[in-house]
Amino acid sequence: MNSTAENKMGTMPIKKLVISISLPMMISMLVQALYNIVDSIFVARIHPDALTALSMAFPLQTVMIGFAVGTSVGVNAILSKALGEKNSERVNKSAVNGLFLAFVTYIVFLILGFKVVGPFYSTQTRISSIYSYGKDYLSICMIFSFGVFSQIMLERLLSSTGKTMLTMITQGTGAIVNLILDPILIFGYCGAPAMGVKGAATATVIGQCVAAVLALILNLKCNHEIHISFKRFRPDIKLITEIYIIAIPSIIMQCIGSIMVYIMNRILYKFSTDAVSIFGIYFKLQSFVFMPVFGLNSGVIPIIAYNYGARNKERLVKSWRFAWAVATCIMLIGALAFELVPNLLLMPFNCTEEMLTMGKTALRIIGVHLPVAAFCIITGTLFQALGKSIYGMITSIMRQLVVLLPAAYFLSLIGNVDYVWIAFPIAEIMSATVTFIFLRIINKKIISKL
């Protein structure tokens, strides 16, 4: 075990530690958000229906990413706690079993890529062009998803030991590869065939595979706290169970988000395909705000988990409070952008005048909830790091299924799509209230007793 890495997590001043670990991940997440948006900007120039098709693909893509991220969150929390306990055998077992789970999950989505994409689009639209664009795009993303599953797990192994600068390199490399290949494969530059939406999907999976290979090399060469070896490997059922106790609530939260987007698309589709596209554009734009916060999360989870394992209450609480302050600042900047310059944010997406009018109203209404979301997200991270992801899952269910969707449906009955967006701040206020209640419970039962 590397004592320098241990001392860093347990002794470095909290603000410096959080920034040093989280900043590279926040930057790499920003790059990820950038290429997600550029993807849509390029696709919007193929045809408006292509942009709508990508918006409709979001629920299944989110489920796929949810399984990848959720499983790696479970591995990350257990591995970091084992580092704090100085249990090197458990550290290595967590890493190898995590990689095994990533492979098994990919096989599941490989099969789903062949079986469910067509029926999935059939339930959302009867417009043949949207169906065709969507099936082409989503099938490639799911069938060749081995890149994203291995990339995310391998990057979490790096972040678990505090090597987030290396994670930034892998994510940034994958994103840059995607950005370069997007116009080449979509429009047929540099002698390549013009593949349209298939080119966008192909660029995405190639970027993910490049990042995964680089992350594997960096783990083997630089991540000395973890020894990855499948020699005489047998799945550790007890450890896998512990991983999924933490991971399943996170996975369910992602799947709940997919259900929410799927039903919201159906609610909005009754107004127009433009409304669905605006909802998709909102998700791309809000990723510029949320992705850095998720990068902050990825950096804070191992810090909290390590100090929980080391039973250092003061450092644990300071980590959470500082992360909350940073997240709030990021969200405030995002909210101001949504309120003050929605036109500038929407212009790159080749929007019609009708879409611009609708989009400005949507961004201004939804943007109000962003600062409140900072508290919910960072406190949910605290729940995950302490092995209480179930609290975050309950909050997510209440926010998105119990409040957001019913509110959106009933507001849609007014007959004006502008009212539907009000459901987002309503749901976030409820989410913050429930999160605060769970925080008090966690503090009483766990944190105060350290």
Phi, psi of 183 (to 5 degrees): -65, -35
Least Cα distance to 280 among 109, 39, 28 occurs for 39
Query: What pLDDT is recorded for position 408?
Result: 96
Residue type, 255: C
DSSP code at position 12: S
Rounded Cα distance between 404 and 260, Å, is 8
Least Cα distance to 227 among 127, 370, 96 occurs for 96
Torsion angle (degrees, nearest 10) of CA 194, 196, 198, 204: 90
Q: Which tokens hold the place of 17?
A: 């530690």
Query: Which class for 270: exposed (0-12), middle (13-18), buried (19 or more C-beta within 10 A)?
Result: exposed
Q: What are the tens digits of pLDDT across the range 390-414?
A: 888 888 888 889 999 999 999 999 9
Length of the chain: 450
Supply the mean pLDDT for the chain: 89
Q: How many CB atoms lie within 10 A of CB 259?
A: 16
162 versus 99: the higher-pLDDT residue is 99
3-state class (DSSP) for residue 194: coil
DSSP states of 107-140 as a string? HHHHHHHHHTHHHHHHTT---HHHHHHHHHHHHH
Q: What are the tens digits of pLDDT across the range 277-311?
A: 999 899 889 888 988 898 888 788 888 888 888 88
Q: What are the tens digits of pLDDT across the range 21-79?
A: 888 878 877 877 776 777 788 888 888 899 889 888 888 988 998 899 889 988 988 88
- The answer to whether residue 233 scores a pLDDT higher than 70 is yes
253 versus 207: the higher-pLDDT residue is 207
Rounded Cα distance between 176 and 31, Å, is 8
Rounded Cα distance between 156 and 302, Å, is 10
| Weakest mean pLDDT among 90-104, 158-172, 231-245, 354-368 | 158-172
Rounded Cα distance between 352 and 337, Å, is 21
Rounded Cα distance between 148 and 106, Å, is 9
DSSP code at position 87: -
Average pLDDT rounded to a whole number, residues 419-448: 93
Average pLDDT rounded to a whole number, residues 360-388: 91
Answer for the pair 70, 298: CB distance below 8 angstroms, yes or no: no
Least Cα distance to 54 among 63, 45, 44, 64 occurs for 44
Burial 304-339 (b: 16+ CB within 10 A, else e): bbbbbbbebeebbbbbbebbbebbbebbeebbebbe
Q: What are the tens digits of pLDDT across the range 171-197?
A: 889 988 998 999 999 999 988 999 999
Q: Which tokens hold the place of 9?
A: 């997590």
Torsion angle (degrees, nearest 10) of CA 161, 9, 18, 386: 80
Rounded Cα distance between 310 and 231, Å, is 31
CA-derived radius of gyration, the chain: 21
Rounded Cα distance between 437 and 379, Å, is 11
Whole-prediction pTM value? Answer: 0.77
Residue listed under structure tokens 């995310």: 152
Tell how many helices (H) and how many strands (E) occur in the chain. Answer: 18, 0
Instruction: Using pLDDT thresholds of 50, 70 and 90, give the confidence band for residue 2.
Output: very low
DSSP code at position 369: G
Rounded Cα distance between 42 and 19, Å, is 34
Q: Which tokens hold the place of 218?
A: 């960096």
Average pLDDT rounded to a whole number, residues 212-233: 89
